[in-house]
Amino acid sequence: MSNSRITISFSLLFSLFSLSCSSSNSSSHHAFIQCLEHHSDPSISSLIYTRNNSSYSSVLQNYIRNLRFNESFTPKPQIIITANQISHIQSAVFCGKAHGMQMKIRSGGHDYEGVSYWSDDPSFFVLDMFNFRSVNVSVEDESAWVEVGAILGEVFYRIAEKSPVHGFPAGVCPTVGVGGHFSGGGYGNMMRKYGLSVDNIVDATMVDVHGRLLDRRAMGEDLFWAITGGGGSSFGVVVLYKIKIVHVPETMTVFRVVRDYNENFVNLVHRYQEIAADEFPKELFLRLTLSVVNGTNRATFRAMYLGNSRDLVALINNSFPEMGLLLSDCLEMSWVQSVLFWTDFSLGTPIAELLSRVPQSLTYLKRKSDYLKKPIPKQALHLLFKKMVELRTPQLTFNPYGGRMAEIPASERPFPHRAGNIAKLQYATNWNEEGAEAADRYLTQTRELYEFMTPYVSMAPREAFLNYRDLDIGINHNGRNSYMEGLVYGASYFKENFNRLVKVKTKIDKHNFFRNEQSIPVFPWKK
């Protein structure tokens, strides 16, 4: 199968080693490498990087997207394998099991908590999938085969290269890797029209714990369901996804407008909550980001509309006159150009920029998420704005639901957050100061804003988005997640779908080889 190469995040059993075991660890790592070379073709030797290799640091750091996990004290893998053939993946699985090495699997490295490239286990390795990056688009049957090491920008570019009237519902950051993005849900600004990325995946190829290469038919519907929203790294190494590309107009409309606190601010934000999900058509996605600039509250509205600017202005001014949108605020462009706009590239940037794997910036960061079921009352908004001025740094973004998202049953995919949501909230804090003291300060600010929002968001469970990975949720004992611990984060990420995921996991990986800090556990009473 010419396209048979994919990605996913993995993890192995965590073994506790004392300092006195360091020499035996070294021997084990050497045996692990010998196993890899013995069970794969000779080319794998040049793709294995140990800490003694001069290129080790650059290979590791090339796909670290959160500087919190690029410190001198961040645990580093013993070995990195930059696989470029299916046999390399199969050997990594076989030898990882045989030699007690914990596996971490990385595609784009954008996982917010860095769980694809660090571990508290002193004996772990990274299977890096960035070489699996082909994107083969067929406009004739409106599909594409996408390897998991591709970045979203490459997917968008290759689709636009073939057709000006096709696109794909996925994230707005071009350097995000396909593997984690697709397997965890795949959220983007065409979600209200076409659903998530996982709602538009029709096939996949993966290497399972036995080293078998499986497509959808071979793996069965339960496992296919699990890896389309349940996080692929719990179940195997996904190599390839087949997606349905969707229709977009040749010309569409975007805008970015900013409103400050003295511009009818409370009424503006309150009205947004009332209409963003339920009153706007599916073709409109209107995101709101609250921030503090120079000590003053600010609201930034970003829109993507699958239609022309005059219709958009009429639509907004009819339902949301508080915004005061002008025709001059709007820009008409192609769908692929809108990707660059949403990522804050300058107007006129060539679309070839989407092929760059270098992020526009790198910072230290923390993300958290919530789901908004009812509008935050006006009096509470006053308190929220005051709290944000007090904290200064964290931003709060409202990503509207409704539309197609309200039509898809919660059990259709592991991702359960469908009808009944106004918006998914993201708490975002970025900083550029090094050191633990700065990290503690900014992490505390983010958590304070999250705690402030407790009365106004979903509860029992307090829902969260898997692709906004948050290790604050649940109990984590060095990655030794048990079923009871998994219930905490499992309920937040997957709600009623969690136990079905555990059932699939127990059936296909009963010894829990593929494991990380918040992976799907196995039922402890199953033999």
244-281 pLDDT, tens per residue? 999 999 999 999 999 999 989 999 999 999 999 999 99
Given a contact cutoff of 8 angstroms between Cβ atoms, the answer to whether 479 and 11 are in contact is yes
H helix or E strand, kind and range, residue 26: helix 22-38
pLDDT at position 13 is: 26
Given a contact cutoff of 8 angstroms between Cβ atoms, the answer to whether 152 and 243 are in contact is no
* Segments of the chain with pLDDT less than 50: 1-23, 478, 527
Q: How many CB atoms lie within 10 A of CB 379?
A: 9
Span 428-442, pLDDT tens digits? 999 999 999 999 999
- The residue behind tokens 């699985």 is 93
pLDDT at position 49 is: 98
What whole-number distance in Å separates Cα of residue 428 and Cα of residue 479? 25
What whole-number distance in Å separates Cα of residue 114 and Cα of residue 524? 27
Given a contact cutoff of 8 angstroms between Cβ atoms, the answer to whether 68 and 439 are in contact is yes
pLDDT at position 480 is: 58
3-class SS of residue 496? helix
pLDDT at position 15 is: 31
- The residue behind tokens 């923390």 is 366
Read off the amino acid at residue 435: G
Given a contact cutoff of 8 angstroms between Cβ atoms, the answer to whether 290 and 372 are in contact is no
For CA atoms 186, 233, 42, 52, give the dihedral sign: positive
- The residue behind tokens 């107007």 is 347
β-strand partners of 466: none
Given a contact cutoff of 8 angstroms between Cβ atoms, the answer to whether 388 and 297 are in contact is yes
How many Cα atoms are found within 13 Å in the side-chain-facing hemisphere of 400?
30
Q: How many CB atoms lie within 10 A of CB 42?
A: 7
What whole-number distance in Å separates Cα of residue 220 and Cα of residue 223? 6
Q: How many CB atoms lie within 10 A of CB 494?
A: 27
3-class SS of residue 321? helix
3-class SS of residue 87? helix
What whole-number distance in Å separates Cα of residue 433 and Cα of residue 339? 30
3-class SS of residue 138? strand
Sorted by where each starts, the structural domains of the chain and their CATH numbers stand as: 135-247 (3.30.465.10), 252-333+360-466 (3.40.462.20)
Burial class (CB in 10 A: 0-12, 13-18, 19+), 331: middle
Given a contact cutoff of 8 angstroms between Cβ atoms, the answer to whether 416 and 359 are in contact is no
Span 175-189, pLDDT tens digits? 999 999 999 999 999
Given a contact cutoff of 8 angstroms between Cβ atoms, the answer to whether 117 and 104 are in contact is yes
**Is the preceding peptide bond at 461 cis, omega within 30 degrees of 0?**
yes
